Amino acid sequence: MFSYYLRLALLSIKRNPILSSLMVAAIALGIGASMTTITVNYLMSADPIPHKSDELFYVQVDSWDPNDPYDEPNEPPDQLTWTDANNLMNARKATRQVAMASSGAVIEPHGQDSKPFNAGIRLTFADFFPMFDVPFLYGSGWSESQDLAREQIVVLSRETNERVFGGENSVGRSIRIGGNQFTVVGVLNHWQPVPKFYDVTTGAFNETEDLFMPFLLKEELELPNGGNTNCWKSPEGDSFKAFLQSECVNYQMWVELPTERDKQDYLAFLNSYADDQKALGRFPRPLNNRLSNVMQWMEIQEVVADDARIMLWLSFMFLLVCLLNTIGLLLSKFSGKAAEIGLRRAVGASKGDLFMQHLVETACIGIAGGIAGLGLAMLGLLGIGSLYGDFAENLTSLDLTMVAVALLLALVSSIAAGLYPTWRACNIAPASQLKSQ
Amino acid sequence: MFNSSSWEVGPILRALMRNKVGALLIAIQIAVTMCIIVNAIHIILERQELMARDSGIDEANSFHLISTGFANDFNEQVTIETDLNTIRALPGVIDAVQINAIPISGGGWSMGLQTQPGAEFDGVGTAVYMVDEHVLEALDLELIAGEAFKPTHVRWRERAQTNWPDQTIITKAMAESLFPEEPWQQVVGKTVYINDNEPILIMGIIDKLQAPWVGWNNVEHAMLSPEKTLFSSSRYLVRTEPGRRDELMPKVEEILAESNKGRIIRDVTSMMDTRERSYRRHGAMIKILTTVMVILTVVTALGIVGLASFSVNRRRKQIGTRRALGASQSAILRYFMLENFLISTVGVVLGAALTIGLNIYLVQAFSLDRIDWYFIPLGMLVLWMVGQLAVFGPAKRAAGIAPAIATRTV
């Protein structure tokens, strides 16, 4: 029976090509617009590390100014001081822990013809790589003892390895960074979490860094500050050391806490740490320490842009207009078929049969609209990509989930749009239509 | 001719009530369309206003670059002096400065200034630009009170240095925020405090200079600090004679790169590109909303055309009968135009309510501004016109139906 309805539907669509294509176009436009904005929002609010985002926690301790909170109403600073980052690292109270910072330096490749270039650096600890499931192409990360020994070792991004070593396995080779010799211990495979959750302070959708090196080298080599530095009181002294010991925040920290109990224990530890610091004359504000898991932190940092959300709502309203349009067009179309429906009813088709038949027809139009809408969504995403440039680079690709969502949305909304016109068409009294024939 | 019976409002309403759904569909479409269009235009105008703000510098003829030293024997101080002298001597260059941050670029340094010393007092946030005595010429700033920096005011600042020079020049907006009670002219010569209690003398006031952060509420707050920096990376901002920027950008890059191999020159960018980058998301939003508005209007208009054609087709026989009974073509035309006008009226009234509703939501959720009241009647007018234009084609066709059709059976 279904294939018969399908044939009838195609016949009916062919009989009214203009009206049918208008409906397909209306659905396609609505789906195209909504899918474009849904995709951008979906990628912006995606879970960057789904299997453990509940176990990774961003650490905040309130080391701020006694007179003013870091942010209204009473938010602790979004980063740590050098002192706190190191103290919390040394305490080793979590399953895994990493403090980190961003920096930059000039890389001087070996060849005479290759020019020196500026590279973005992530300063971090050994746990970074296993904790965030960072994929390696060659070699591996480094060990805790290498962290403490402040060894001049480096992990390169795949792109940096291609630029400096032509993509060869460079593990064990030396590289000159910021005037110092480093040894390569590992090369990453392509790695671009979206959002770049581990540090969103300078933008949640930036590229990952060009190279990764031990955190304590910051002090050893006096590496410059990257990202945002905020101070509520200026350093006591003009040396690099004085800056590190100051109340300026520039460091991020994550801990891995597999169970709720671990989390409670760690929070208790943070509070007792803050009390210890109060005893030393620091932390003048009331106790206000926080642990946020990955998705909570993304929420707090407002990773999904307001504009994207505004566009999402506008595009849903756009879809609504397109569907109202489709309802209107379907009404016209089906009422044009009144005679045919009357005839079919008269020769014995039940209301349910007719309802099914017309629903199949509507679904066909919906699917066609959905497929065309997918095409439009791809165009829309290309458009967004070119309008926003590198900001949107990682936010404009359709994955299989989104394709399925698009088709489903098209199907559901077109059937919803078809319900009323179909119902009305089926309620035609057969006699009234047959009389005039 | 224009008595009320010839306007046929009564019969139209009665006919409409027999086909409520079709009319209601059109009315809701018009309402939602109006709601989106009016709010979109509101957002577009808001963004355009943001983008039209003047940064205060000569954007059309300026560019900037970064020089990063890496060699062990890199002498930063000598390099900066040599670079600036070289650039300033180039034909076509008006002036150049070393500056720690580029206006409207997104990255910079901020401090608080306060009128009383002490940690317990709140400061007024301001962007800090570390520059030398060439700043007014290089940034095209107008000194409207006080004095400009002299070479003797300018010092060198090391990377971790925390104290500040004794003088500053601030923007007029900053002067007004610091001393709201007094006219800005009288702010010259006053002492303010940085780092809670370090005194600084305000020696001059400039008309306008924006901070690096275009989304900041206090984007007009900026202070000039007379110092050159030794941060291992230096930014230079170069202002050229009109029309010579594009020719000088590669030239300056090449000369600097060749003159010293112990550093790299990077990110050579014109101020126009910097502006485009900083305002890109606003520009993008404007383009997207414009596209949405146009497509939406077309979709709604097509919907009106579709339904009107359908209702004309369904009433061919009635129309023919009316024509046969003496109704003129213009009476038929008027009937459909008026019918659409009535539907549109319901639509735009509903639309006005929806528009205000969406605006209230946008104000609350995204802290947008409230819509100006006149947007609503303007939106209503536009949607009325769209409806009338869309229905004109089908109505014209209805008017063309021959009276003879009344005599045929099917």
Q: What angle (nearest 5°) sits at the alpha carbon of residue A218, between those of residues A216 and A221?
A: 110
Neighbours of B307 (CB within 10 A): 26
Quote the pLDDT of residue B34: 95
| Cα-based distances in Å from A4 to A8, A338, A360, B377 | 6, 20, 10, 52
The answer to whether the beta carbons of residues B113 and B223 sit under 8 Å apart is yes
Domain extents for chain A?
2-45+305-435, 56-300
Give pLDDT tens digits for A95-123: 999 999 999 999 998 876 678 999 999 99
Which residue does chain B place closest to A334, by CA atoms? B310
Which residue does chain B place closest to A389, by CA atoms? B280
Contact across the interface for A67 and B119, Cβ inside 8 Å: yes
The answer to whether the beta carbons of residues B390 and B308 sit under 8 Å apart is yes
Work out the minimum CA distance from A258 to partner chain B, whole angstroms.
35
Contact across the interface for B160 and A332, Cβ inside 8 Å: no
Q: How confident is the model at residue B4 (pLDDT cuts 50, 70, 90)?
A: very low
Q: CB distance from A118 to chain B under 8 Å?
A: yes
Q: CB distance from A275 to chain B under 8 Å?
A: no
The answer to whether the beta carbons of residues B398 and B338 sit under 8 Å apart is no
Contact across the interface for B284 and A384, Cβ inside 8 Å: yes
**ipTM score of complex:** 0.82
The answer to whether the beta carbons of residues B198 and B163 sit under 8 Å apart is yes
Contact across the interface for A328 and B25, Cβ inside 8 Å: yes
Contact across the interface for B288 and A317, Cβ inside 8 Å: no
Give pLDDT tens digits for A298-352: 999 888 888 888 889 888 999 999 999 888 888 888 877 777 888 888 888 888 8
Please give the share of chain B, as a percent, with pLDDT higher than 90: 69
Q: How confident is the model at residue A386 (pLDDT cuts 50, 70, 90)?
A: confident
Contact across the interface for A310 and B22, Cβ inside 8 Å: no
Work out the minimum CA distance from A356 to partner chain B, whole angstroms.
22
**Residue numbers of A between 408 and 427 with CB closer than 8 Å to B:** 420, 424
A311: chain B residues, CB-CB within 8 Å: 285, 288
Give pLDDT tens digits for A158-215: 999 999 999 999 999 999 998 899 999 999 999 999 899 999 988 888 889 999 999 9
Contact across the interface for B32 and A384, Cβ inside 8 Å: no
Cα A50 from Cα A52, distance rounded (Å) = 6
Closest partner residue to B280 among A26, A179, A388, by Cβ?
Answer: A388
> Does residue B203 register a pLDDT over 80?
yes
Which residue does chain B place closest to A319, by CA atoms? B296
Give pLDDT tens digits for B120-140: 888 899 999 999 999 999 999
Distance of CA A400 to the CA centre of its chain: 16
B66: β partners? B235, B266
**Residue numbers of A between 180 and 239 with CB closer than 8 Å to B:** 224, 233-235, 237-239
The answer to whether the beta carbons of residues A101 and A145 sit under 8 Å apart is no
The answer to whether the beta carbons of residues A25 and A237 sit under 8 Å apart is no
Quote the pLDDT of residue A287: 94
Quote the pLDDT of residue B256: 95
Quote the pLDDT of residue B7: 67
Neighbours of B40 (CB within 10 A): 20
Q: How confident is the model at residue A437 (pLDDT cuts 50, 70, 90)?
A: very low
Contact across the interface for B196 and A233, Cβ inside 8 Å: yes
Work out the minimum CA distance from A301 to partner chain B, whole angstroms.
15
Task: Report residue A309 as tokens.
Answer: 């959300």
> Does residue A12 register a pLDDT over 60?
yes
A305: chain B residues, CB-CB within 8 Å: 281
> Does residue B286 register a pLDDT over 70?
yes
Q: Residue B116 phi/psi, 5° resolution?
A: -125, 145
Long-range contacts of B392-395 (CB under 8 A, 24+ apart): B392/B337, B393/B305, B393/B308, B394/B305, B394/B308, B394/B309, B394/B312, B394/B336, B395/B308, B395/B312, B395/B332, B395/B333, B395/B335, B395/B336, B395/B337, B395/B340
Tell which wins on pLDDT, A309 or A270.
A270
> Does residue B3 register a pLDDT over 60?
no
Tell which wins on pLDDT, B183 or B318.
B183
Quote the pLDDT of residue A5: 84
Distance of CA B329 to the CA centre of its chain: 50
> Does residue B211 register a pLDDT over 50?
yes
Q: How confident is the model at residue B317 (pLDDT cuts 50, 70, 90)?
A: confident
